[in-house]
Structure 1
Amino acid sequence: MAQTREDATPLRLFWLTTLSMVLILSQSLMAHARGAPESFAELAERISPAVVNITTSTTVAGRTGPQGIVPEGSPFEDFFREFQDRNGDQSPRRSSALGSGFVISEDGFIVTNNHVIEGADEIQIEFFEGFELPATLVGTDPNTDIALLKVEADNALKYVNFGDSNKARVGDWVMAMGNPLGQGFSVSAGIVSARNRALSGTYDDYIQTDAAINRGNSGGPLFNMDGEVIGVNTAILSPNGGSIGIGFSMASNVVTRVVDQLKEFGETRRGWLGVRIQDVTEDVAEALGLSEAKGALVSDVPEGPAMEGGMQAGDVIVSFDGVDVEDTRQLVRTVANTPVGKTVRVMVNRDGTTQTLKITLGRREEAESSVPASLEAPADEPQEMETMGLTLSPLTEDLREELSVPAGVDGLAVMSVDEASEAFEKGVRAGDVITEAGQTAVASVSDLEDRVAEAREEGRKSILLLVRRGGDPRFVALGLQED
């Protein structure tokens, strides 16, 4: 039976109403998933009082004239004095710089970048409410570009708390605050563009953001939507000096450890293992018979905690203090964040088997310069060998002197390298010294021949060489040539 217009109207209204409710609910869920606020105004108003502008003053030596050109009492002395006077005042002058920071405690501790206050004679803090206070320097850490300041105020100061930067996800909303280009308090918003960025430092763990960061924002905070500091704005990537949406903030989980140590000791105290390490590449993993390219390969063990704990060159560190080791960068940061003096369990892969070592960490800042471990000196064997694109010769006294190889270091000197070879591609050069092959010391051509033969018998496609250049060791895996 045909449906009348009157009968269809309620049904149409029902479906339209249902569809509208679905669209509204869908939009609400999408907004909630994005975490997109309708406005940043309430958050900015709540946390602005804890953000500060920093002005520093530095005494710069005045320019010096042509002093010493003529002897005292010379008839030309007056002429040169007039020349100096015409070229301006030669007395010391004051230079100022601007930056940002934020208060982390009601009693006046302030965090900023080290480069903001480095070399400053005076540090002045301007607060959001308009008053100013002088600051004293508590301590700095150039490695992470963090500095801790202290002001004395009559009343409790408004402050902000650190958040957990590890919870920040790519795509989360963030807000940066500071003093860009000396314009005063300013707010910019964006998202987390990337995590775990490294620029140039050993302990780098930067959050990348597209929130506008410019000169003068250095040392200012990067907030999450809960008003917690998850980063300290430090650097920008820009061809013109202005923001192009690529800014970097040192992650709060790095900053908090530094701040705690600066507050307690006035300096950093990082753990020190005492090894030279390199990443485990695919070819190195194959040469060592490892199932995957993970961990940190120990290339040298000078005197220090690791040597005392029984670690050896050629060990692959796979776990440190219960944390799996992915690569060298992660290991360095993990060790640095471990308390000095703590005895930790370090799991290593050695000759295909797993061993656990107990090592008591030293303090990195106090570590003396490394001294390469010496090897037992074998008898001379003055003959050359050509293999894997390398021309090799045992170290004679003449070669040792020519290559400046210290006493106690023995091996095969690289006389020449075929530029078309894999060895040349991987950076081996004439003048290098090969001290180990297959994780066994070599001092003669026959030693190397034996190691190559063993690797082939075990079915390996490459062999691991320990190459030293100027005292610095590194492992290189080279493919074995067919007979």
Structure 2
Amino acid sequence: MVRQMAIDLAMVMSITACALDGTGSPKDDTVTDAMPTLAPMLERVLPGVVSIAVDGRLSAEEMLLLRDPEFRRMFGLPKRVQPEERRFLAQGSGIVIDAANGTIVTTHHLVDGAEEISVTLADARRLSGRMIGADAANDIAVIQVESRDLVAVPLGNSDTLRVGDYVVAIGNPFGLAQTATLGIVSGIGARNPVEPDGRFIQTDAAINPGNSGGALVNVRGELVGINDSLIGSAVSNSGIGFAIPITRAKQAVDRLLHPTPSRS
């Protein structure tokens, strides 16, 4: 027990050291030697992470999957498909990347088939979202809201991440808004069994249903990944989550926002 407490204390002190400036002094006056904390960083980042609610209709392929008896058995659904199941409600997260233009990035699988998109900000304002574009191959979607006083999350560089770097996953798991979970990068360039196309950041920061589309940030509060999926039960975290590297996501977003004119 004493050894574990020492390890935990060393971890917290190490994280705090990462948030210090070159002189060894805290970047924020609220961080003291007596109380190491990531709170100042999260206070800056949390307003840039939003909750996204989607109302839509299932595609023919999804309805076909829903009719599969084995699929319904695995997820505890009734044996027969009900008419109302043609519609769906989904909830996840998004990240403000351009405050001036109301640009929000999220995962494609969250908003795929959406007929209505509702965005709730950290201050409880609820806005209507408009789809700008989607890249299914990279599981990236861009939506836009009309609002003032938005806060963007600064972009980092996922190419510099190393296994063992501390990261924080921020989102709205199970509808619990503005939730942050601490962990480390547990794998670089990982293959995601759910979405085998592309490489992902693997992390043990808890990623649960509702976190999809949320932010994975380093201890400086820079966006290094977009939370995408997890391995294990559909209702709980198993310690292995995947995030889309921000370097790859930014390339997809740039293509969606600035499409290359087609040649006739």
In the superposition, the TM-score normalised over structure 2's length comes to 0.73
1:198 maps to 191
Q: 1:242 to 1:108 in 2, by over 3 A?
A: same
Distance 1:92 1:189, change over 3 A: closer
Q: CA deviation at 1:231?
A: 0.4
Q: 1:31 aligns with which of 14, 20, 37?
A: 14
AA matched with 1:55: A
1:134 partner letter: S
CA shift digits 1:125-158 (9 cap, x unpaired):
00001101101111111111110111111x2411
**CA deviation after TM superposition for structure 1 residue 31, in Å:** 3.3
Partner of 2:174: 181
Aligned-pair RMSD on alpha carbons? 3.0
- The one of 143, 150, 154 equivalent to 1:161 is 154
For 1:56 and 1:130, locate their aligned partners in 2 and report how far apart those are by CA, in whole Å: 17
Q: How many residues are paired up?
A: 214
SS in 1 for 2:159: helix
Instruction: Indicate if the aligned counterparts of 2:94 and 2:104 stay in contact, CA closer than 8 A.
Output: yes
Per the alignment, residue 131 of structure 2 pairs with 137
- In structure 2, C-alpha distance between the alignment counterparts of 1:50 and 1:242, rounded to whole Å: 25
Structure 1 residues 205 and 59, CA gap change in structure 2 (3 angstroms): closer
Distance, in Å, in 1 between the alignment partners of 2:218 and 2:139 is: 21
Match of 1:384 in 2: none
Cα separation, 2, equivalents of 1:97 and 1:213: 16
For structure 1, the 5+ residue unaligned runs are 1-26, 62-88, 270-339, 342-362, 364-483
In the TM superposition, residue 159 of structure 1 has moved relative to its aligned partner by: 0.5
Q: Which residue of 2 aligns with 1:128?
A: 122
Query: Which stretch shifts more, 256-265 or 38-47?
Result: 38-47
* C-alpha distance in structure 1 between counterparts of 2:188 and 2:125, whole Å: 36
SS, match of residue 260 in structure 1: helix
1:222 pairs with one of 216, 228, 244: 216
Looking at structure 2, the residues matched to 228 and 187 of structure 1 have their Cα atoms a distance apart, in angstroms, of: 14
Q: Decide whether aligned partners of structure 1 residues 104 and 32 sit closer, same or farther in structure 2, where only a CA change above 3 A counts.
A: closer
1:247-286 equivalences in 2 (<5 Å): 247-265=241-259
**Structure 1 residue 235 corresponds to structure 2 residue 233:** no
Cα deviations across residues 76-123 of structure 1 (Å, max 9, x unaligned)? xxxxxxxxxxxxx96897531100011001120000000110001000
Find the aligned partners of 1:97 and 1:90 in 2 and give their Cα distance. Answer: 18
Pairwise CA distance, 1:185? 1.9
Contact map agreement 2:192 2:242 (CA 8 A) in 1:
no
Following the alignment from structure 1 to structure 2, what is the Cα–Cα distance between the partners of residues 252 and 207? 10
Look up the equivalent residue of 1:175 and give its one-letter code. V
Q: 1:258 to 1:93 in 2, by over 3 A?
A: closer
Amino acid in structure 2 at the alignment position of 1:171? G
Q: CA offsets, 1:45-73, max 9 Å, x none?
A: 11111000000111469xxxxxxxxxxxx
Greater CA drift, 155-164 or 246-255: 155-164
Structure 1 pair 59/206, CA: closer, same or farther in 2 (3 Å)? closer
Amino acid at match of 2:14: A
Tell me if structure 2 keeps the 8 A contact 1:205–1:254.
no
For residues 394-429 of structure 1, the C-alpha deviation after alignment (integer angstroms, 9 at most, x for no partner) is: xxxxxxxxxxxxxxxxxxxxxxxxxxxxxxxxxxxx
* Equivalent AA in structure 2 for residue 199 of structure 1: N
- Check if 1:40 corresponds to 2:38: yes
How far the C-alpha of 1:35 sits from its partner, in A, is 3.6
Q: 1:33 to 1:92 in 2, by over 3 A?
A: closer
CA distance in 1, matches of 2:230, 2:180: 16
Distance 2:164 2:85 in 1: 50
Would the aligned equivalents of 1:35 and 1:172 in 2 still touch at CA under 8 Å? no
Equivalent residues of 1:35, 1:173 under 8 A apart: no
Aligned partner of residue 188 in structure 1, secondary structure: strand
Percent identity over the alignment is 37
Instruction: Give secondary structure in 1 for the equivalent of 2:186.
Output: strand
Q: Return the letter of the residue paired with 1:128.
A: A
Query: Any gaps of 5 or more consecutive residues in structure 2?
Result: 1-9, 21-35, 60-81
- How is 1:437-456 mapped onto 2 (pairs within 5 angstroms)? none
AA paired with 2:94? G
Give the SS at the match of 2:258.
Answer: helix
1:113 alignment partner in structure 2: 107
Question: How far does residue 239 in structure 1 lie from its aligned partner after superposition?
Answer: 4.2
Please state whether the residue corresponding to 1:121 is helix, strand or coil. Answer: strand
- Would you identify which runs of 4 or more consecutive aligned residues in structure 1 move more than 4 Å? 89-94, 200-203
For 1:112 and 1:133, the matched residues in 2 are separated by: 15
Q: Which of the pair has the greater relative contact order for Cα pairs under 8 Å at 6+ separation?
A: 2
Give the TM-score, by structure 1 length. 0.41
Question: What amino acid maps onto 1:197 in structure 2?
Answer: A
**Residue type of the alignment partner of 1:101:** G
Structure exhibiting the larger radius of gyration computed from Cα positions: 1
| Counterpart amino acid of residue 151 in structure 2 | K
Q: Which amino acid aligns with 1:123?
A: I
